[in-house]
Structure 1
Amino acid sequence: MSRKQRQELDAELKRAPQPAGPLTIDEARAGLAALMGSFTVPPGIRRTPTTLGGRPAVLVEPESGAKPGTILYFHGGSFSQGSPETAMVLTANLVLRTGIPAISLDYRLAPEHPFPTGIADCLAAYRALLDNGLDPESVVFAGDSAGGGLTVTTCLAARDAGLPMPVAIATFSAGLDQTRTGASIGTKQGIDPFFTADGLRWTGDLYLAGQDPSQPLASPAVFADLTGFPPILLQVGTNELLLDDSVRLAERAREAGVDVILDITADVPHVFQAWADTLDEADQAFDRAALFVSQHVHAN
């Protein structure tokens, strides 16, 4: 356990300068790109631009020979920011640890393309994989933050469309509740170094564009019936406003008879896995996620 590392990371994040006032969406996008661009993408992967389901995407493959299977990766960014490149440190680590190639999708973002456009793009990408002959039992959905939420809502949309489920879902700090009713929204205020309740309301308003958050595709942690879902891994840290998004989705999965692993790490921030190679818990979490993904893909 690296308690000292966690304490040092928390202190460093809380020393970071805060904006003097509300950000524009362009400023928020630039800030996320700068933050995620500060992480070193590990060597040993090959990145190839491609398209999937009518959207740009990046194929991420291990240089030393790929194993069977496909990870369909959805990046984070509050449904309004980010790209496959901002999530590359996460995608690359998952690919290297599993040996399984990933396709990271550049889905459309709010406010230009509000809810449920991103879900439709992710569903179209999954449908394209199936149309290309991939066995659904070789496909894993994975994602961080908003992308973690999209792994779940894309499964809901796929089930409603009569498509087969992927073999598993793996999430990092998933955003799963636009009603913002989780207890951790209040209890982790001031502890979370990245998010505030006001900030979450702002990005939520951009995403929903006036639509009702009280529906399964917007708030699956509160309203989704997960019957028939594949096994789910939910990794989250205790220093997150979004902690209870994962906690409550795990409970809904249990109620639906779905295999679920709720993997909570103490005293770490949102998407702490990005600090691989500097935070022991990040590497350990990636190892657990890779084992989960590999077990389910290779079992089929």
Structure 2
Amino acid sequence: MKISPLTKQLITEGFLKTAIRAPSQLNLPPGAMRFALEQLCRAIPKNPDVQIRRLRMAGLRAEELKPQRQATQLIFHIHGGAFFLGSLNTHRAFLTQVAARTQMQVLHLDYPLSPEHPYPEALDALFDAYCQLLDQGVQAKDIILSGDSCGANLALALALKLRQEQLPQASGLILLSPLLDLTLSSESLRYNGKHDALLSIEALEAGIHYYVPKSVDRADPAVSPFFADLAGLPPIHVQAGSKEILLGDAQRFKDKAAEAGLAVEFKIYTGMWHNFQMFSAWFAEGRRALADLAAFAHRLDQD
């Protein structure tokens, strides 16, 4: 029997709310949450045409995902997980889909997580990895910084740090379901609180508590890049689902980036929850999101 798209979506939302969002509201130890998330992500199918090679970058475990021998662009992706979850294992399958759809090489790093490694350790490690790419002869114009959820926060923070250090900037930024304001002032946290199938306010609060030291103001642009001066950043592609609690972060950032004169495009996907792109194998909106992401990346490649 063929299941309708709406029925499939409702079943998936119910499963995610039970298996991920509900446990995240219980203040479980980070280790238990990490293990559970890795097990659940094993159900996401990998693209068999993408080759995966393990390597180390600036002391970090990393993976290179290649859909073809030659690729003109490198997508430097930073995974999400509220700063204390996520790994090579949780995002491997999703990133094979990104590599296959863009036909670009994807570099995925296992950056240090909080609470064991609070700010600025993750950002510093990612900055060192980017610098190693430049030292190896990779041109900045051939790098696209990408991230989902808190990974989008770190991708934007990395771009700002590159500007501060006067280093060559990547050709563009891809921000998927971005968490950019750690003061949690977006209205969508309230009106989408019960609609988001994946992310809970409790998980966000726990992650921010783990990540931001008490000595750092949560409105500091280094941890909440929404509040940064955005002048001089490269073109930006932003995606969010209409049901996700971080929708407001994406919408407000889009407006601020446009006011700063940046080339920014914002895509919203009806009925989708936080990080819905990871489920692109099963949902048309997820596949459309990957197609939009790929179209943006290809435009950068042509410039």
TM norm structure 1: 0.94
C-alpha displacement at 1:183, in angstroms?
0.6
How far, CA to CA, are the matches of 1:21 and 1:229 in structure 2? 39
Corresponding residue for residue 244 of structure 1: 248
Alignment correspondent of 1:53: 58
Q: Secondary structure at the match of 2:99?
A: helix
- Check whether the contact 1:143–1:150 (CA below 8 A) recurs between aligned residues: yes
1:16 Cα deviation after fit: 4.2
Q: Within the alignment, does 1:227 sit opposite 2:231 as a pair?
A: yes
Deviating above 3 A after TM superposition, structure 1's stretches of 4 or more consecutive aligned residues are 1-8, 14-21
Superposition pairs for residues 156-175 of structure 1, below 5 Å? 156-175=160-179
Deviations 1:38-74 (A, max 9, x none): 2111111111111112322111111x43321211111
One-letter code aligned to 1:154 = L
Residue-by-residue CA offset, 1:166-188 (whole Å, 9 max, x unaligned): 00111211111111111111111
CA distance change for structure 1 residues 149 and 295 in 2, over 3 Å: closer, same or farther? Answer: same
CA distance in 2, matches of 1:11, 1:84: 26
1:14–1:108 distance in 2 versus 1, CA, 3 Å? closer
CA distance in 1, matches of 2:235, 2:11: 34
- Superposed, 1:101-116 pairs within 5 Å as 101-116=105-120
Partners of 2:259 and 2:168 lie apart in 1 by 21
* Distance in 2 (alpha carbons) for counterparts of 1:65 and 1:130: 20
SS at match of 1:115: coil
- Could you tell me the percent identity over the aligned residues? 29
Contact 1:170/1:289, CA 8 A, preserved across alignment: yes
User: What residue is the counterpart of 2:132 in the other structure?
Assistant: 128
- Paired with 1:81 and 1:89, the residues of 2 have a C-alpha distance of 16
| 19-28 vs 212-221, which moves further | 19-28
1:5-42 Cα offsets, whole Å, 9 max, x none, are: 43443234335483383201111111221222221111
Q: Which moved more, 1:151-160 or 1:243-252?
A: 243-252
Q: Number of residue pairs matched? A: 297
Range with bigger deviation, 9-18 or 228-237? 9-18
Aligned partner of 2:45 in structure 1 is 40
Task: Provide the C-alpha distance between the structure 2 equivalents of 1:184 and 1:122, rounded to a whole number of angstroms.
Answer: 29
Aligned counterpart for 2:273 among listed residues 269, 273, 279:
269
1:108-146 superposed Cα distances (whole Å, 9 cap, x missing partner): 110111011111111111111111111111110111111
Offset, 1:3: 4.5
Q: What is the aligned partner in structure 2 of residue 13 from structure 1?
A: 16
C-alpha RMSD of matched pairs (Å)? 1.8
Pick the aligned partner of 1:203 from 197, 201, 207: 207
Question: For 2:34, which of 29, 35, 45 is the aligned residue?
Answer: 29
Partner of 2:263: 259
Deviations 1:243-291 (A, max 9, x none): 1111111112111111111111111111111112210111111011011
Counterpart contact for 1:41–1:89, Cα < 8 Å: yes
Could you state the TM-score of these two structures normalised by the residue count of structure 2?
A: 0.93
- Label 1:192 to 1:49 Cα distance change in 2 as closer, same or farther (>3 A): same
Q: Secondary structure at the match of 1:56?
A: strand
Measure the CA separation in 1 of the matches of 2:15 and 2:34.
22
